Amino acid sequence: MNKKRIEIVNNLSELESLVAFVQKTSDEWNLSPKLRFNLNLVLEELVTNTISYGYHDIPNQDQTINIVMVLDDGKLSITITDRAQAFNPVQKEDPSIHNKSIEEREVGGLGIYLVKQLMDEIEYKREDGQNVLVLRTELKD
Amino acid sequence: MNCEVKTIVDVTVLSLSGRLDASNSKEFEDQVVKLIDSGQKAFVANLTGLDYISSAGLRVFLLLIKKLGDKGYIHLCCLQEQVKEVFDISGFTSIFQIFDDEDSAVEA
């Protein structure tokens, strides 16, 4: 079993460290270009969401976001943990995107939808004041 | 992310390269909105060099096509495989006209 971990602070400038983390991990684990792309996207969407909305009104807490990636037996899991406001992306309603004209399409709301589409499984729990999100995908190619 | 701008007759061609994400999407938005505000109506975005796009980048493309409305257009061309997949999942391939090469996108 392979395991990698990164802790970032609640600031959008941390996206750069996240990109470097995904790059390094993907190189070491020899992940496909498709999976690298998807990991970048999934992490960016979720972390950006937490940074943009999650820590409002709770300024004095530990404002870090923890990311653990595990590769085991052809399966990859990502666990994201933070102390931000409770937010369950699994329950977030999908944007309506089909058969919509340009005028009808709403700007935004796509991030979580993309995450759900690109991962095989997504699980959320609120535990000890923390958001714990686990995402899983298989290494298909 | 880098966005080079050139003009072919009356079409503004935007050649994007690198990553279009939450850290730079606003910069790209401002750059193109400025062109629209100065009167440009016909755009082609050549995405040959665009390795990565997230919802922040998709959002800008949707904003631009909405802003142009009936008065103009933005055609896309040369999407890399993963970028194309994200456009597909988002339902953007039915909103945007997408071409295989820049010439077709400019002439259309």
Q: What DSSP letter does each residue of A55-77 carry, written as one string?
A: TTT-TTS--EEEEEEEEETTEEE
Distance from CA of A70 to the nearest CA of B (A): 23
The H or E element that residue A31 is part of is: none
Q: CB–CB of B91 and A97 under 8 A?
A: yes
Q: CB–CB of B82 and A15 under 8 A?
A: no
- Give the mean pLDDT of A66-91: 95
Phi, psi of A69 (to 5 degrees): -115, 135
Distance from CA of A7 to the nearest CA of B (A): 19
A49 interaction partners in chain B (CB closer than 8 Å): none
Across chain A, the runs of DSSP E, i.e. the strands, are 2-9, 64-72, 75-82, 121-127, 130-138
CATH of residue B59: 3.30.750.24
B23 interaction partners in chain A (CB closer than 8 Å): 12-13, 15-16
Using the predicted structure, report yes or no on whether residue B15 has a pLDDT greater than 70: yes
Tell me, what amino acid is at B35?
L
At CB < 8 Å, which residues of chain B contact A?
19, 21-23, 52, 54-56, 58-59, 62-63, 65-66, 81-82, 86, 89-91, 95
Using the predicted structure, report yes or no on whether residue A61 has a pLDDT greater than 70: no
Q: How many domains does chain A have?
A: 1
Q: Give the confidence band of A141 by pLDDT, cuts at 50, 70, 90.
A: low
**Residue A6, beta-bridge partner list:** A67
Using the predicted structure, report yes or no on whether residue B64 has a pLDDT greater than 80: yes
Q: Could you tell me the end-to-end alpha-carbon distance of chain B, in angstroms, rounded to an integer? A: 26
**Residue B16, beta-bridge partner list:** B3
Kindly tell me the sign of the dihedral angle through the C-alpha atoms of A33, B55, B70, B93. positive
Distance (Å, rounded) from C-alpha A106 to C-alpha A116? 18
Can you tell me the ipTM of this complex?
0.92
Domain containing residue B99: 2-107
Distance (Å, rounded) from C-alpha B51 to C-alpha A127? 37
% of residues, chain B, pLDDT over 70? 100
- Give the mean pLDDT of B31-38: 97
- Give the mean pLDDT of A81-92: 92
Residue A60 pLDDT: 60
CATH of residue A105: 3.30.565.10
Q: CB–CB of A44 and B54 under 8 A?
A: yes
- Give the mean pLDDT of A98-111: 84
Distance from CA of B90 to the nearest CA of A (A): 7
Q: What is the pLDDT of residues B75-105, one digit of tens each?
A: 999 999 999 999 999 999 999 999 999 999 9
Distance (Å, rounded) from C-alpha B96 to C-alpha B73? 9
Tell me, what amino acid is at B53?
I
Residue A95 pLDDT: 87
Using the predicted structure, report yes or no on whether residue A126 has a pLDDT greater than 80: yes
Question: Which of A71-80, A90-99, A123-132 comes out lowest in average pLDDT?
Answer: A90-99
Domain containing residue A21: 2-138
Residue B54 pLDDT: 97
Tell me, what amino acid is at B36?
I
Write A21-28 long-range contacts (CB < 8 A, 24+).
A21/A67, A25/A69, A28/A2, A28/A4
Question: What tokens does A71 get?
Answer: 């590769």
DSSP strand pairing (B11-20 vs B42-53): parallel
